[in-house]
Structures are given as structure tokens and as C-alpha cells.
Chains A and B, each alone.
Chain A
Amino acid sequence: MAVTPGYLHPLDKHLRLDRIPTLYCPGCGLGIGLGAMLRALDKRISEGVVDRNKVVWVGGIGCTARMAFYVSYDSAHVLHGRAIPFATGVKLANPELTLIVVGGDGDIAGIGGNHLLHAAKRNMDMITVMFTNFVYAMTGGQVAPTTPLGVRTTTTPHGNPEPPLNIIKVVASLNANYVARASVTTPHYIEQFFYRALGMKGFRFIEVVSTCPEVYGRHIGLRDPVEMYNELKKRVKYKPNPTIDEALIDWEKGIIIGEFMVRDNPSYLEIIRGLK
């Protein structure tokens, strides 16, 4: 069998091809999300809004965080939960750079939750894309901040006793300029929201609801990637200009996606430039 050739797929020029295929399990939603983000980035680069050589991808630890080392950009695969403070240092030391932080809900909202709060509060100039797959996947299926109540995981064998975190409501309550939610079953919205975020300043946050058929799917009896994809798709509903109160994320009642917050508050860099 022949080796995988050079640039073929339209996104190949954005990937470290020698690391493709990814380590993601078959049917993992992360690749869909990454593809959508790269299409948006490609557009912004061709428009001249973003300089390809001034983009830095930062990931903490976890399946999602690995996106950072699959892209052929300046990138960093750092510590669990610490992508946002790392990116903060990068951005402040060289404000020319465009910072893209990628991470799962455990990485960004769990162990890194305090950093997320403070980056949003500061309106720090970076984009954070958090993939919510309801579980700690890389470590083998433990409960996550977003795991629904009652779900059995490897560390909650009698059912998760904690109600899940609705991260959109948390971030929107702070000073972030952009707060949106999409789903891997709606890659065009991921692309659209990320495209918009790339043209803004301040803290931009996108939650992408994702599928983890291998680990979370096993917990809820949807191990087949297609089945899980379709079950998620059924629950996801786009709403134009939704309010924060409408940011429902509930496996039973539905998942509302859309742009919950779009504003132009002064970003951290703008404020410190004004103070000098």
C-alpha cells in the first residue's frame, strides 16, 4: 500500500502531516471540530486578517489539547489545565501573535477553571475553544465537570452525584467579548463562530459539544460513532441571538447552540496600553 501523499486534502497545509492520522478514536468528534476551525483560520489567513506565521496554538493535556500538536503552526502542548496562563504569557510578551487555546472540559473548566475565570474577567486577548465531551476520555472515562447527573463513570460507578457545569453561563457572566456554543454535529457553526472570533479582540470563548463514542458512549450505551453522532444531533438546536438564560445543555432536555454574547469591551491589552 502506498504511503499517504503530501498535500491532498484542502486542510493538509495546516497539519503536521507526519502526525496524521491522529490518535483520536474512530468517530471522535474532535477531528470534525479541528477541521472546522482550520477552515475558518484558512479563510482569515487568505483575507489577510490573520498572519499564518503569527498564530500560536496552545493545548493543555487531554485528547482535545493534542490538537495543538497536529497543526503545523507554532504550538505548545503544555500542562494539564495550564494552557490559558501559558497563552496569557505568550500574548503579553508578543501582542502581535494570535493565540488559540484548545482543551477539553476537564482541562479548561475542571483543573484549569480558575485560569478560565480570570482570563475571561481580564478580557485577555485570546480565543479559547473548549470541547465538551462529558467525560475524562484520555484517562479512561472518569467523571468530568460536564458529566450529567446520575451517569455512571469509572469513578462514579453508582452514578454521578454532581449536577453538570454549564460553562457558557459562567463565562458569559464575566467580561468575555464573545461566548458561543456549537456542536460537532454542526461543523458549519463551529467554522462560522471561530471565523467571527478570529476577527475580534479580547477573550473569545467557544464551547463545542463533542462526541466521545469510545469512552462516554460506552457509559451511556452509544458506542457506535454514527449512533452517538446522530443522538447528539437530535438534541442540538441552533437559536439565533439566544439569551444567556437559554444556554441549555442537558442530554434529556436539549442543547442550545448559538452566539450568546457578542460585544466590544476593551480588551486587556487595550486597557494596559491606555494606562502606560
Chain B
Amino acid sequence: MGTTYSSLGLITRENQRYRVTVIVDRCKECGICISVCPTKVLVKSSVLNKYGYRPPEPAHIEKCIGCRLCEYNCPDFAIFVEVASK
């Protein structure tokens, strides 16, 4: 099944507490976010961005604990975590 994303170029997934957003066209597919995530929320998506990179997708968003390691370790300001509004 293909990854879906918004017309703003964002892949957004949220669980009850956290929302993870990927800015598709900033990603360079280095894989660091996927590697540092302690609960394995992220997987490589099926999307090709305008530079030909495949950004991550928070496929297992239910496991997200909001540690922000993906956000802090992303070299390209391409992923961030917010507390989901109730």
C-alpha cells in the first residue's frame, strides 16, 4: 500500500498523544531518523520526493513515545514531533 501525504507535501500521522510530521521535499533519505527511533515507529515510505529521495513514514505511529530523537537527529529539518491536540 502506498504512503499518502497532504497537498502541502507533508506526511502526518498521529496517535492519541503525539503527531509526527515529515516534510517530504526536505528529506534526503539518510535513514538516521529510522535508526535512532527507539520504538521503531518509522519506515522508509514509498514516496519519491522531488529530489528522488524516499522520506520516512511514521507507519507504526501507535508506538511513538514523543522522545523527539528523530526530530533532533534529522540533519535536514524534515521531521518533527508535536503533542497532539485533544
Contact = CB atoms under 8 A, between A and B. Distances in A.
Asked if chains A and B come from one complex, the reply is yes
Interface of A: 1-5, 8-12, 15, 20-22, 24-32, 35-36, 39, 187-188, 191, 213, 224-226, 229-230
B32 A27 contact: yes
Contact of B53 (A15, A26, A191): A26
B9 interface: yes
Nearest to A225: B30
B20 interface: no
Contacts of B10: 5, 8
A35 B33 CA distance: 14
B41 to A, nearest CB: 16
Interface residues of B, number: 31
Interface string B20-51: 01011110111110111000000000000111
B80 A27 contact: no
B66 to A, nearest CB: 14
A212 to B, nearest CB: 11
A35 B26 contact: no
Given A28-B75, A187-B72, A21 B28 contact: yes
A232 to B, nearest CB: 11
Contact of A226 (B8, B28, B35, B76): B35
Contacts of B78: 9, 21
- Shortest beta-carbon contacts, A-B, top 6: A31-B75, A27-B30, A26-B28, A2-B9, A225-B30, A26-B30
A72 to B, nearest CB: 12
B26 A27 contact: no
B74 interface: yes
A191 to B, nearest CB: 8
Given A1-B24, A20-B26, A32 B74 contact: yes
A11 B80 CA distance: 10
A24 B75 contact: yes
A187 B73 CA distance: 7
Contacts of B76: 20-22, 24, 31
B30 A9 contact: no
Contacts of B7: 2
Contacts of A213: 30
Contacts of B77: 9, 11-12, 15, 20, 31, 35
Given A1-B24, A2-B8, 4 more contacts: A5-B9, A24-B76, A32-B32, A226-B32
